Amino acid sequence: MSEIAGELARVREAFDRPTLRLLDRKWAPFVLAVFKSSFSRDRRSVQADLLHTQVDAYLADLRTVGSDVPPGKNGRALCVQWMNDQWLYRETGEGDEEHYSLTSHALEALLLVESLSRDRALISESRLTTIVDTVRHRATQANPDREERIRRLDLEIAEKTSERDRLEGGGEIAPVSNEAMLEGYANLVDLINQLPSDFKRVEESVAAMHRQIVNDFRGEERPISEVLDEYLSKTDALMSATPEGRAFEGAFTLLRNDALLQELKSDLETILLHPFALELTANERRGLMGTVRLIRKGIDDVLTQRNGLSETLREHIVNHDVVKDRELERLLREINKELATWMQTAGPRSVVTAELMPGTLEVEHLRERFYDPAAHLPPPDLEDVSDDAPEPPSLDDMRKQGGPLLEELRDAIVTAFTDGDAASVGDAFNDLDANLRRPVEILGMLQIATQIDAVSRAQTLERFETVRPDGSIRSFEVPRIMLNEHETAALAALNYGPDHDA
């Protein structure tokens, strides 16, 4: 294969990976904008239904401003599509709630777009110094020459001792410029932003190993002992089976050092006390101070995934394989017992016919539940609490809480209009006794007026002063109703009959 053909094959393989497939799609800007708006360093996962709703809202907002969006799909359909494209990962959390999180491929794509959108170039003294220091450190580790290592250490000790003596003697501390600090900050942030995708790749590697071993157990295409041996060997080298796992295992010793992480937090606080930090936004300062929390969260996620693998496989071994082994052992023991009985009468060339599969039992009904005396016990006796019962209400109290007194109300209104003391129903109502001026009596009064068709002529409102059963006063605005002689007589007839002489 020619050199160009080999390079073409490697480039095609790279473009087949989910990261570049995401960046190569027509709707890549929309997808990345949704991921950027929905997820953050502090918000690693989003509840499934909530993300569906958010994507629907983003689609509606972009259509409003005239931006092109994927046609014919809602938020749920897009999330499912992105999950199939390996950009989203869906898992079930506490309470059987489903959550989405970004895969390492989506995190890498976001990191690449973020790096391309920066205004500040990362080729700086800070980055070159980091490269030189790293190369010097690795060269020292790679060199097996003892004398060379001692020489490098002596130079480093002499350099640091000279600087210490200068400072102890009152030497001047040269201030660091804001520009240099900003360059170092940009280099540091670039390295920190790569951590989430690194941790996510380790999680996905462990999860893939998890699925492969579980499928081997369930498929039963290989002997269980062989699968078990493979499980034990992979458990011994769980984190060294993949490049991601080996990288994490190498850094894990450093990352689980609490004293080192506490010192890292203190150093970050010192950096933010420099005047250059005034040029940073609140989100940038918060993100830098959240580095330790980001590292701890990444470690916890990887360890949780690894513990889940061990726990799931342990349950498979204990609850599945052991039971089958015991059943097989019991069956073989019974076969040996039957063979011993048969050999007492069988000749040297005797044969026995055995079915490969047992026959089906014809059973009409199998009892599913058996009698349980505890399920038929009577309920415990009720406790006698009659001594704690409150005093029952009187008949008068109950009447005060009841509905309107229609008969008494009609009688009072007829009397008021017959004597000529009332200009309207409201005037008559306000002059009644307190027991006939409850708020509910207004409803009774309107019912009475409706029976004689007197409400339809009301043009204005008037105030009704009511008295509640507890003695408090409440005012209501009610249509002003006037009654003529004919209506008054009709109202009286409802109480006393048509022959009553008003």
C-alpha–C-alpha distance, residues 416 and 412, integer Å: 6
- List the one residue out of 435, 432, 433 whose CA is nearest residue 397: 435
Architecture of domain 3-116: Orthogonal Bundle (1.10)
User: What pLDDT band is residue 502 in, cutting at 50, 70 and 90?
Assistant: very low
Please, what sign has the CA dihedral across residues 163, 164, 167, 170?
negative
Q: Contact at 8 Å (CB) between 45 and 126? A: no
pTM of the prediction? Answer: 0.42
Domain ranges across the chain: 3-116, 194-319, 395-496
Q: Please return the burial class of 411, using the count of CB atoms within 10 Å of its CB with bins 0-12, 13-18 and 19+.
A: middle
- Reduce the DSSP state of residue 367 to 3 states and report it: coil
Residue 236 confidence (pLDDT) above 60: no
- Reduce the DSSP state of residue 98 to 3 states and report it: strand
DSSP letter, residue 240: G
pLDDT per position as a tens digit, 363-415: 777 777 788 888 888 888 888 888 888 888 888 778 778 888 888 888 888 88
Residue 226 confidence (pLDDT) above 80: no
Q: Secondary structure of 441-458 in the HEC alphabet?
A: HHHHHHHHHHHCCCCCCC
Q: Contact at 8 Å (CB) between 120 and 182? A: yes
The DSSP bridge pattern shows strands 45-47 and 88-92 to be unpaired
pLDDT per position as a tens digit, 263-297: 878 888 888 888 888 888 888 788 778 777 777 77
User: What pLDDT band is residue 317 in, cutting at 50, 70 and 90?
Assistant: low
Residue 228 confidence (pLDDT) above 70: no
Query: For residue 412, how many C-alpha atoms fall within 13 Å in the half-sphere facing its CB?
Result: 21
Residue 164 confidence (pLDDT) above 80: yes
pLDDT per position as a tens digit, 94-135: 667 888 888 888 888 887 777 776 655 455 555 667 667 777
C-alpha–C-alpha distance, residues 273 and 268, integer Å: 9
Q: Contact at 8 Å (CB) between 429 and 437? A: yes
pLDDT per position as a tens digit, 434-458: 888 888 888 888 888 888 888 878 8
